[in-house]
């Protein structure tokens, strides 16, 4: 089981804590951001393969921003895969 943290850029959330095991997302916890949205995203991707989550979350934008909390989670997961 791997636990890691990611500092998102360009969004309201300040930190994302992620737990994965054997390529499956076990838990995601956002610190800051829109509580309902971040909790919803975290609940929906629980049990999902990392690659599937990246595919579904990449490129989602928040209003006029070029990124979003889900997009930043995809970035965190990409970074995790690159290091492992």
Looking at residue 57, its pLDDT comes to: 98
pLDDT band at residue 73, thresholds of 50, 70 and 90? very high
**Phi-psi sector, 66: left (phi>0), alpha (psi -120 to 50), beta:** alpha
pTM for the structure as a whole: 0.96
- Taking only the tens place, the pLDDT of each residue in 9-59 is 999 999 999 999 999 999 999 999 999 999 999 999 999 999 999 999 999
Domains parsed from the chain with CATH numbers: 2-83 (3.30.390.50)
Tokens of 67: 């990124």
Task: State how far the Cα of 1 lies from the Cα of 22, in Å rounded to an integer.
Answer: 7
């Amino acid at each position: 089981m791997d636990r890691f943290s990611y500092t998102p850029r360009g969004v309201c959330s300040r930190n994302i804590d992620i737990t994965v095991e054997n390529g499956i997302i076990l838990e995601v916890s956002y610190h800051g951001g829109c509580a309902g949205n971040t909790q919803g995203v975290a609940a929906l991707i629980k049990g999902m393969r990392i690659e599937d989550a990246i595919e579904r979350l990449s490129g989602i934008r928040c209003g006029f921003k070029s990124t979003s909390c889900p997009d930043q989670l995809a970035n965190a997961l990409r970074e995790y895969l690159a290091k492992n």
